Amino acid sequence: MRRLTPDTWLPTCVERMTEADLETVLDIEEASFASSWPRETFLGELDNNLAHLFVARLTGGEWHGRIAGYCCTWVVVDEMHITSFAVHPDFRRHHIGYQLLAAVLARAVELQCCSAVLEVRASNRAAQRLYSQFGFAPVAVRKRYYTDDQEDAIVMFLSDIAGQLPPQPGPAS
C-alpha cells in the first residue's frame, strides 16, 4: 500500500451500512474510540426503525471498495441525531469525513429532517472543525459525559440542514 500524503482527496460513495460491513466498521470503531460499541450494538441499530447507518466506501485506486468511515444516526420526527461518526485513522485528513457528513446530511433532508444534533468530545477539535463547516454550533456542555475518562461532551446543533448543505466538492482537476 502506498503511503498517503495529508490532504490527498480520496473520493468515496456513501451507502447504507449492512451486516456484511460490520467487521470493517468494528475495526474502525476500535481504532477510533477508547470505549467502543460492541457488535451487538451495531446489530441492534441495523434492526432499529429509527436508525440510519452509513458507510463511506472508497471509489478508486488500490483501496477501491474499502470502507474508510461510517456514521450512525437516529431520525426522530424532524431531527437527525448523529450517534457515532468515525473515519479510520489511516484515512483521516483525506476529506472522507467531509464527504460522509455531506452525504448523511443530504439524506437527512430527504428524510424531511430540519435539524441535526450530536455530541463530540471537548478535546476533539478536528471533529468540531468538521462539524462547524456544516453549520453545527456548540449549544451546551454535557459534563463528564464519556464514561471511559469522564471527559465533557460538547453538544453541537444544526438548525437548518437544507440551508447549510455545502456543494459537494471533488478533487482538483
Q: How many domains does the chain have?
A: 1
Which residue shows C-alpha cell 440551508? Answer: 163
pLDDT on residue 67:
98
The pTM score is 0.90
Q: What is the pLDDT of residue 172?
A: 44
Looking at residue 84, its pLDDT comes to 96
Considering the domain boundaries, does residue 42 fall inside one? yes
* Neighbouring-strand partners of residue 71: 54, 85
Residue 169 included in any domain? no
Please tell me the predicted confidence (pLDDT) of residue 173: 37
For the chain, list residues with pLDDT below 70. 1-7, 167-173
Q: Give tens-digit pLDDT for 118-160.
A: 999 999 999 999 999 999 999 999 998 888 888 999 999 999 9
Q: Is residue 51 part of a domain?
A: yes
Q: What pLDDT does residue 7 have?
A: 64
**Rounded to whole angstroms, how far apart are CA atoms 62 and 149?**
38
Grid cell of 101 as nine digits: 457528513
pLDDT at 113: 97
Q: How far apart are CA 123 and CA 105, in angstroms?
A: 24
Active site residues: 119, 131
Cα 60 → chain centroid: 20
Q: Is residue 168 part of a domain?
A: no
Task: Find the domain containing 151 and state its range.
Answer: 12-163
CATH number at residue 116: 3.40.630.30
pLDDT score for 104: 97
Round to the nearest angstrom and report the end-to-end CA distance of the chain.
24
The answer to whether residue 58 is domain-embedded is yes
pLDDT of residue 4: 63
Give the separation between CA 172 and CA 8, rounded to whole angstroms.
10
